């Protein structure tokens, strides 16, 4: 038994199913699929409630969002098998490619899904749009066997990894905006449940694909059973094509990513045109090396008011220049200190993680660093903040864990 399977065999992660946004049933919690009733849990914006053990055979779907509800998944069917390989591409994988990978000797099962990266408060999380009736078989047993999780997903809600519960900005009603843009879509969180380890942070059902502007069927999970996944890397790479990323998920579980493969991020939302498909290699010390072709197409150095020469994403310059011009014209230039500017384009992970920062895309800048450290109110002049917001920037001082030095583009604004 390989390491990932041995670990899952002895540890069953917590699954927390929350109250539906439409005011459905009580919150339900399962430390494993057989947790007894009587424990308590708290959903965002609610008081503590008595939990009930989900009925594994239940077919009742709490419909939180009728526009994004799909058929109830019903009881789980088929064999459980943790995903060993993730194939990911910016474009859709063709049915013939999927069939060819499924037919490889050593492949036990495959599951197509739609995968995208969503920036939230300078963290990038991976969201998958899935068929809840079949994708569940690739998740840890505690998730796969908890019927209420997949009823919630089918009913239009989001299921997300429990580790992210305290790290994301939920509103008082349990909604999470999927994106940093002003108009980012808000989805109600229906469950905190483990997903495919190292590959997926959150899942919605497939009806969300057009709403979230995701690329349909651009990813594939592969289970190899008793076959060593690494032995299938080259055959899968040959079938998937040179643009696809083929990641060994046992390496992801150990290191946070597969260091032997080019990484791919497909960012969705209003600012997607500023990022496109982002491919990069991993360097030491939390740094990354974006594809040189991507850098040439998206990154440039220009002179802007107050700060002088800065290197950023090409699309940020019109509104960054407009914001700084207004700061200057209103007599506030001395509120921004060029000597305390800490950069815009800085290809790296967020410190201590393997999550991309918006600095990696050249869409964020850090100002007046010494007096505006994370977790503080900061010293940033609030009129300067309001000017930046006017010109399409979000301010880190508004976040649930503040970062008052940080401004990031959250809307495309065309100065007139």
> What sign does the dihedral 358-359-361-365 (CA atoms) show?
positive
Residues in the chain: 416
Task: Parse the chain into domains and list their residue ranges.
Answer: 3-266, 298-409
Distance set, CA 207 to CA 108, 121, 211, 226 (Å): 27, 25, 8, 34
- At 4, give phi and psi (nearest 5°): -65, -40
Residue 288 in this model has a pLDDT that exceeds 60: yes
Quick one: what percent of the chain has pLDDT higher than 90?
A: 58
- The pTM assigned to this predicted structure is 0.77
Instruction: Quote the tokens at residue 99.
Output: 């069939």
Q: List, for residues 293-305, the tens digit of each pLDDT value.
A: 999 999 999 999 9
CA distance 403 to 149: 33
Question: What number does CATH give the domain 298-409?
Answer: 3.30.1380.10
Name residue 85's beta-bridge partners.
222, 248
User: Quick one: pLDDT at residue 60?
Assistant: 55
Q: What angle do CA 15, 19, 21 make, to 5 degrees?
A: 125
* DSSP label at residue 90: S
Instruction: Compute the average pLDDT of residues 67-90.
Output: 93
Residue 62: pLDDT band with limits 50, 70, 90: low
Instruction: Compute the average pLDDT of residues 146-155.
Output: 96
Range with the lowest mean pLDDT among 45-59, 75-89, 237-251? Answer: 45-59
Residue 168 in this model has a pLDDT that exceeds 50: yes
- Reduced to 3 states (helix: H, G, I; strand: E, B; else coil), residue 86 is strand
CA distance 66 to 356: 33
Q: Which of 26-30, 32-36, 224-228, 252-256 has the highest mean pLDDT?
A: 224-228
More confident: 320 or 356: 320
Q: List, for residues 230-274, the tens digit of each pLDDT value.
A: 999 999 999 998 888 898 888 665 555 666 677 778 777 666 778
Residue 3: pLDDT band with limits 50, 70, 90: very low
How crowded is residue 121: how many other Cβ atoms within 10 Å of its Cβ? 20
> Cα Rg for the chain, rounded, in angstroms?
22
Q: Which of 138, 170, 135 is nearest to 44 (CA)?
A: 170
Instruction: Quote the tokens at residue 205.
Output: 């059902």
Cβ-contact 91, 243 below 8 angstroms: yes
């Amino acid at each position: 038994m390989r390491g990932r399977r041995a670990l899952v065999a002895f540890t069953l992660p917590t699954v927390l199913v929350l109250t539906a946004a439409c005011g459905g049933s009580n919150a339900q919690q399962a430390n494993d699929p057989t947790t007894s009733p009587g424990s308590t849990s708290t959903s965002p914006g609610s008081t503590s409630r008595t939990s009930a053990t989900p009925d594994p055979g239940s077919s009742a779907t709490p419909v939180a969002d009728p526009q994004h509800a799909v058929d109830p998944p019903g009881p789980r069917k088929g064999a459980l098998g943790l995903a060993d390989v993730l194939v990911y591409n910016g474009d859709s994988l063709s049915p013939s490619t999927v069939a060819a990978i499924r037919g490889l000797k050593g492949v036990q099962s495959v599951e197509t899904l739609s995968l995208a990266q969503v920036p939230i408060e300078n963290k990038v999380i991976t969201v998958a749009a899935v068929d809840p009736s079949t994708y569940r078989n690739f998740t840890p047993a505690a998730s796969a066997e908890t019927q209420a999780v997949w009823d919630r997903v089918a009913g239009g809600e989001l299921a997300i990894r429990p580790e992210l519960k305290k790290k994301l900005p939920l509103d008082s009603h349990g909604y999470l905006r999927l994106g940093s843009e002003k108009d980012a879509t808000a989805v109600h969180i229906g469950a905190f449940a483990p997903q495919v380890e190292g590959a997926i942070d959150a899942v919605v059902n497939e009806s969300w694909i057009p709403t979230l502007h995701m690329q349909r069927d651009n990813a594939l999970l592969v289970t190899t059973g008793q076959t060593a996944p690494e032995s299938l890397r080259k055959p899968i790479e040959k079938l998937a094509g040179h643009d696809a990323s083929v990641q060994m998920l046992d390496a992801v579980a150990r290191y946070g990513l597969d260091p032997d493969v080019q990484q791919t991020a497909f960012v969705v939302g209003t600012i997607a045109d500023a990022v496109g498909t982002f491919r990069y290699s991993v360097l030491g010390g939390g740094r990354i090396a974006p594809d040189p072709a991507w850098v040439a197409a998206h990154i440039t150095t220009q002179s802007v008011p107050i700060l002088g020469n800065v290197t950023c994403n090409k699309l940020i310059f019109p509104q960054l220049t407009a914001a700084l011009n207004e700061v200057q014209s209103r007599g506030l230039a001395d509120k921004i200190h060029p000597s305390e500017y800490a950069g815009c384009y800085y290809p790296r992970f967020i410190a201590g993680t393997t999550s991309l920062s918006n600095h990696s895309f050249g869409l964020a800048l850090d100002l007046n660093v010494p007096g505006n450290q994370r977790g503080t109110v900061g010293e940033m002049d609030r009129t300067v903040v309001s000017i930046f917001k006017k010109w399409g920037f979000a301010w880190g001082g508004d976040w649930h864990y503040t970062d008052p030095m940080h401004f990031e583009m959250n809307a495309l604004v065309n100065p007139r």
